[in-house]
Amino acid sequence: MPETFYEVMRRQGITRRSFLKYCSLAAGALGLSPAFAPKIAHAMETKPRIPVLWLHGLECTCCSESFIRSAHPLAKDVILSMISLDYDDTIMAAAGDQAEAIIDETIEKYDGNFILAIEGNAPLNEDGMYCIIAGKPFVEQLVRVSQHAKAIISWGSCASWGCVQAARPNPTRATPTHKIPGIADKPIIKVPGCPPIAEVMTAVITYILTFEKLPSLDSQGRPKMFYSQRIHDKCYRRPHFDAGQFVEKFDDEGARKGYCLYKVGCKGPTTYNACSTVRWNGGLSFPIQAGHPCIGCSEDGFWDKGGFYDRLTDVHGFGIEANADEIGKTAAGIVAGAAAIHAGASVIKRIASKGDDA
Amino acid sequence: MVEEITARKEEAIFVYEWPVRVWHWVQVFAILALGITGYLIGSPLPSLSGEASDHFFFGTIRYIHFTAAWILIVGFVFRVYWAFVGNSHAREIFLPPVWRRRFWAGVWHEILWYAMIAKEPKKYTGHNPLAVLAMHVLYVWGTIFMIVTGLALYGEGEGMGSWQNEWFSSWVIPLFGQSQDVHTWHHIGMWVIVVFVIIHVYVAVREDIMSRQSIISSMISGWRMFKDDRPPDDEDLRLE
Ligand code: HEM
Ligand code: HEM
Ligand code: SF4
Ligand code: SF4
């Protein structure tokens, strides 16, 4: 029987007071009323830790980096002890055969009861040769472990959507979790972002632990509590948007005054994430607050939509790479030109046929 | 016989009932407003100075877009209803008789007429077959596309739980990939409609002058006047 979270935390020297503080914080992050804090505390005191196998495919490790920087000083300890992170090849001490043995052990001991967390994704071309873990293609490890897991968490935009390694023409055929052939038919929770916000990551795990169920997901598989609103819906620059006050260039008066970043390509209006509410680095700031437009890092395909600093995005295909207005103006121009020529020809024809009649 | 023909020459046929005419001109203005404001949503005008609290300029542009959008939607729903209860001409643009060879022969003839190969246009009480085809594909489906993608974008602003979001955003957005793609396609849809309107207005004016029936005045008065006395060519192409 694994220890409970509370036992682990006390062993780590965390006071009961700090523990309760964390529980209130977690309730807040999950959008629950303060009445839920005792419930969370109770769950942590009594429930065994959930084993987690954290696999890494093609990635930059920014999800791990974000996760271990969760803002509340305790959060990272709590979370790292909360889930018994049995396998995480980036941060665990074990290596080589020893490390791989942990996977088999977890599968054996907790078959159907552990969570599979995936950071990064699997390349499928050349039989998966572009990402080798312990001498075998990563995709094989992923598929095998998924068959024994209770649920799957796709951390970040890599596991959720593909991200930059899947950018056109995607030479390695990097493929997000839910599109891997043979992946087990288990619930997949997508927690996109490049990286996802630390508090969002920890809160998702806290929720699963406390309520012993998966958070409710939107139509694209993202937890509703963090991904049901756009950056734009809660952006503090929104009054400038409604007023029609935009930054035109990064060094203009508007930029100094903190105008809306829409015209320099802000993707806030099309991006579902919690940045404008939870913010980053312990609520300190977020990209728009620092004067940079949102690049839409938690959205599918954000890496392949033309310039990050353009309002209108590019369309690919049929040998064109242009935005909607460029395509439309060309088409309308051709049609209008053709109509003008046709009108001219019609006039000539009419004069000519009048001539015939006469 | 001669008498009969002269009698027929004076004849005008009532084609467009008043709801169709009113609807046509209302949606002309709605689409004009939607096109202009939509373009400005994609490429906003230069910034206003002063305090944000002094202005609601971009908000107003969006507000006009949404108001015109509701007029377009209500009008379109009404127009579909009228296709059921109105006269046979009210059904033309919704149900082109694509299963009839005569219809395609008419389309082909119309192409020859515009290519200035055919010497003489055919005579129609309703729209000519090529016009019906263009109105059906570009206008009817174009408008449905704009309404569906528009409501999906609108539902994002209304938020989860709103009917626009449940009925439209929830499936339209994943279908296109993500919200940004819906914006892009909604934007391209505008240009499809612009292309339709350019052609439509050009041929309306041209046919008014060159065809064998009245065109522009028909969409105002409802009556089709004929410039000669031979029988029309589309008697069998309409669905009663
Ligand atoms: C012929 C009809 C229409 C035209 C030509 C049109 C045109 C446009 C254009 C060009 C845009 C800018 C897209 C972009 O690049 O972001 C836009 C945005 C939008 N349109 Fe339309 N539209 C039409 C109908 C509708 C309808 C029926 C609705 C339904 C409510 C609608 C709702 C919206 C919304 C919500 C936006 C996004 C506004 C924003 O992001 O601030 N549109 N439209
Ligand atoms: C936004 C612009 C416009 C759109 C979307 C549009 C759309 C349509 C549609 C769908 C019809 C078919 C009506 C039906 O059978 O129910 C129609 C007919 C017609 N429209 Fe427009 N229209 C536009 C602008 C104009 C303008 C500016 C004119 C004036 C020159 C015009 C003149 C006509 C005429 C004369 C007809 C009847 C054609 C006939 O008799 O066969 N339209 N239009
Ligand atoms: S800065 Fe971006 S998210 Fe904020 S109001 Fe402007 S467009 Fe919306
Ligand atoms: S503001 Fe946009 S680009 Fe930046 S982290 Fe948030 S979702 Fe990603």
pLDDT band at B4 (very low <50, low <70, confident <90, very high): very low
Average pLDDT of A63-92?
A: 69
Residue B34 Cβ < 6 Å to ligand 1: yes
Percent of chain A scoring above 70 in pLDDT: 91
Average pLDDT of A70-91?
A: 64
**pLDDT surpassing 50 at residue A78:** yes
Distance from CA of B187 to the nearest CA of A (A): 6
Write out pLDDT tens, residues B130-167.
Answer: 999 999 999 999 999 999 999 999 999 998 889 999 99
Domain-embedded: residue A30: yes
Sequence-ordered strand ranges (E) for chain A: 50-56, 83-88, 115-119, 122-123, 132-133, 136-137, 151-155, 174-175, 188-191, 314-317, 320-323
The reply to whether A306 and A257 lie within a common domain is: yes
The reply to whether A165 and A204 lie within a common domain is: yes
Domain boundaries, chain B: 2-43+69-230
Domain-embedded: residue A316: no
Closest Cβ–Cβ partner in A240, A325, A345 for B116: A345
Other CB atoms within a 10 A radius of the CB of residue A33 amount to: 8
The reply to whether A92 and A208 lie within a common domain is: yes
The reply to whether A245 and A217 lie within a common domain is: no
> Pocket residues for ligand 3 (CB within 6 Å)?
A 231-232, 235, 237-238, 241, 260-262, 266, 268-269, 288, 294
The reply to whether A109 and A153 lie within a common domain is: yes
The reply to whether A194 and A260 lie within a common domain is: no
Write out pLDDT tens, residues B5-24.
Answer: 444 454 788 888 899 999 99
Q: Which of A34-43, A242-251, B84-93, B175-184 has the lowest mean pLDDT?
A: A34-43
Average pLDDT of B165-186?
A: 94
pLDDT band at B119 (very low <50, low <70, confident <90, very high): confident
Write out pLDDT tens, residues A180-204.
Answer: 999 999 999 999 999 999 888 888 8
**pLDDT surpassing 70 at residue A81:** no
pLDDT band at A358 (very low <50, low <70, confident <90, very high): very low
The reply to whether A222 and A333 lie within a common domain is: no
Mutate to test the pocket of ligand 4, among A264, A297, A302, A305 (most ligand atoms within 8 A of CB): A297
pLDDT at site A281? 85
CATH number at residue A43: 3.40.50.700
Q: Which of A104-118, A155-169, B187-201 has the lowest mean pLDDT?
A: A104-118
pLDDT at site A84? 63
Distance in angstroms (rounded) separating the CA atoms of residues A275 and A293: 12
pLDDT at site B1? 40
Tell me the three state secondary structure of residue A152: strand
pLDDT at site B2? 43
pLDDT at site A77? 63
Sequence-ordered strand ranges (E) for A122-165: 122-123, 132-133, 136-137, 151-155
ipTM over 0.90: no
Average pLDDT of B47-68?
A: 92
Write out pLDDT tens, residues A229-249.
Answer: 999 999 999 999 999 999 999
CB of A119 within 8 A of CB of A153?
A: no
Closest CA to B180 of A191, A307, A159, A302: A302
Closest Cβ–Cβ partner in A230, A302, A327 for B156: A230
DSSP labels, A154-170:
EEHHHHHT--GGG-TT-
Average pLDDT of A128-132?
A: 93
Distance from CA of B188 to the nearest CA of A (A): 5
The reply to whether A331 and A288 lie within a common domain is: no
For the CA atoms of B184, B186, B191, B194, what is the dihedral angle to 10 degrees? -160
The reply to whether A123 and A173 lie within a common domain is: yes
The reply to whether A92 and A127 lie within a common domain is: yes
**pLDDT surpassing 60 at residue B40:** yes
Average pLDDT of B173-184?
A: 94
Domain-embedded: residue A91: yes
Residue B72 Cβ < 6 Å to ligand 1: yes
Average pLDDT of A225-229?
A: 92
**pLDDT surpassing 60 at residue B71:** yes
**pLDDT surpassing 80 at residue A80:** no
Last residue of a domain, one of A226, A255, A286: A226
The reply to whether A163 and A303 lie within a common domain is: no
**pLDDT surpassing 70 at residue A16:** yes
**pLDDT surpassing 50 at residue A19:** yes
pTM for the full model? Answer: 0.89
Average pLDDT of A276-297?
A: 92
Top-ranked range on mean pLDDT: pick from A75-79, B86-90, B120-124: B86-90
pLDDT band at A71 (very low <50, low <70, confident <90, very high): low
pLDDT at site B62? 97
- Please tell me whether the peptide bond between A195 and the residue prior to it is cis, using omega within 30 degrees of 0: yes
**pLDDT surpassing 70 at residue A79:** no
pLDDT at site A125? 93
User: Using the beta-carbon criterion (under 8 Å), do A245 and B188 form an inter-chain contact?
Assistant: no
pLDDT band at B235 (very low <50, low <70, confident <90, very high): low
- Comparing A77 with A188, which gets the higher pLDDT? A188
What per-residue string of b and e applies to B182-201 under the rule 16 or more CB within 10 Å gives b? bbbbbbbbbbbbbbbbbbbe
User: Using the beta-carbon criterion (under 8 Å), do A241 and B180 form an inter-chain contact?
Assistant: no
Number of domains in chain A: 3
Handedness of CA A316, A320, A326, A331 (dihedral sign): negative
Return the CATH fold of B2-43+69-230: Fumarate Reductase Cytochrome B subunit (1.20.950)
Q: Which residues contact A308 (CB under 8 A, 6 or more apart)?
A: A265, A267, A293, A295
- Look up residue A130 and give its two tokens: 């572009």
Residue A269 Cβ < 6 Å to ligand 1: yes
- Comparing A129 with A33, which gets the higher pLDDT? A129
Arithmetic mean of pLDDT over chain A: 87
- For residue A56, the enclosing domain spans 5-226
The residue contributing the CA closest to ligand 2 atom 1 is B28
Q: Which of A67-71, A223-227, A238-242 has the lowest mean pLDDT?
A: A67-71
Residue B20 Cβ < 6 Å to ligand 1: no
pLDDT at site A83? 66
